[in-house]
Amino acid sequence: MGGEYSFNEVMKRLERNKVDLIFADPPYFLSNDGQSIRSGKVVSVNKGDWDKKENYDNVDSFTYSWLKECHRILKYDGTIWVSGTHHNIFDIERNMKKIGFKIINVVIWHKSDPPPLIYKNKFRFSYEFIIWAKKSGKHYFDYEEMFNVNNQEMEDVWLMDAVQMSEKKHGYHPTQKPEALLDRIIRASSKEGDIVLDPFLGSGTTCFVAKKLNRKYIGIEKEEKYFNIAKDRLA
């Protein structure tokens, strides 16, 4: 879904207790005119107006509102994954608990190839948090599928590469997640035929992987440029 409806309008059009699994990669609100390094070049961290932080209260209200809608839409035995960095993940966790979500795990995505620092005054950023939470007392987890990845119990620190060039052939999103990450999440916490929702679809990775794994999918993206990239990937 994209186009003429606002984000909240689209979320409210979805039925209560509708989806089995949600993956959300919300704005980190880091477009602050800073700089980073990508492919060996110094680049701006600005991603667009959607990633600019207005003020703390507005961001916190936005976070609470979309998480509240996710709680309403999620089935009683469904789960939600939310990614973030230290800039936003603690506020996300606080709002999740306030709404009634129960935290199952906090997974660390340890990036095997993080960008180097420009200013040598801190430790190199090499990971993102991914909160996994449930709505009620029970939830689905494919323990055997995850055990079989390395023939041992899977831990909550995942070493994975960033997005591969082949995943960007339809276009590039600045916060695109690797297909391998979504593949693991969807396999671990849903079954074939389940409905997967991504309320911040971006370039469509969640729906693309869900389709390959024989899941039904719903994606919401307000930026027309990225909505069209997602449509091309899913065609």
Ordered per-residue pLDDT tens for the chain, 235 residues: 444 456 778 888 999 999 999 999 998 776 565 655 666 666 655 566 655 666 778 889 999 999 999 999 999 999 999 999 998 999 999 999 999 999 999 999 999 888 888 888 989 889 999 999 999 879 999 999 999 999 999 999 999 998 888 888 888 888 889 999 999 999 999 999 999 999 999 999 999 999 999 999 999 998 899 999 999 999 9
Measured distance between the N- and C-terminal CA atoms of the chain, rounded to whole angstroms: 15
Q: What is the pLDDT of residue 185?
A: 98
Q: What is the pLDDT of residue 4?
A: 46
| Residue spans of alpha helices (H) in the chain | 7-13, 56-73, 89-99, 143-150, 179-189, 205-212, 224-234
**Dist. CA 26–CA 66, nearest whole Å:** 9
**Whether the Cβ atoms of residue 141 and residue 158 lie closer than 8 Å to each other:** no
**Cβ neighbours of residue 81 under 8 Å, at least 6 residues apart?**
21, 22, 23, 24, 130, 131, 132, 185, 189
pTM, two decimal places? 0.89
Domain assignment present for residue 98? The answer is yes
Domain assignment present for residue 2? The answer is no
Domain assignment present for residue 105? The answer is yes
Count of domains forming the chain: 1
Q: What is the pLDDT of residue 8?
A: 75
Long-range Cβ contact pairs of 224-232 (< 8 A, separation 24 or more): 224/2, 224/3, 225/171, 226/171, 226/173, 226/201, 226/202, 227/2, 227/3, 227/201, 228/171, 229/170, 229/171, 229/173, 229/203, 229/204, 230/201, 230/202, 230/203, 230/204, 231/204, 232/170, 232/171
Sheet-wide strand order for 74-84: 157-160, 102-111, 127-134, 74-84, 19-24, 195-198, 216-219
> Which residues, listed in sequence order, are joined to residue 80 by a DSSP beta bridge?
22, 133
Domain assignment present for residue 103? The answer is yes
Q: What is the pLDDT of residue 5?
A: 53
Q: What are phi and psi of 114, to 5 degrees?
A: -70, 155
Nearest to 79 by CA among 159, 191, 225: 191
Domain assignment present for residue 189? The answer is yes
Domain assignment present for residue 65? The answer is yes
């984000």: which residue's tokens? Answer: 7
Domain assignment present for residue 70? The answer is yes
Domain assignment present for residue 171? The answer is yes
Length of the chain: 235
CATH number at 91 reads 3.40.50.150
Nearest to 80 by CA among 101, 59, 65, 97: 101
Instruction: Show the domain range for 74.
Output: 7-234
**Dist. CA 109–CA 152, nearest whole Å:** 18
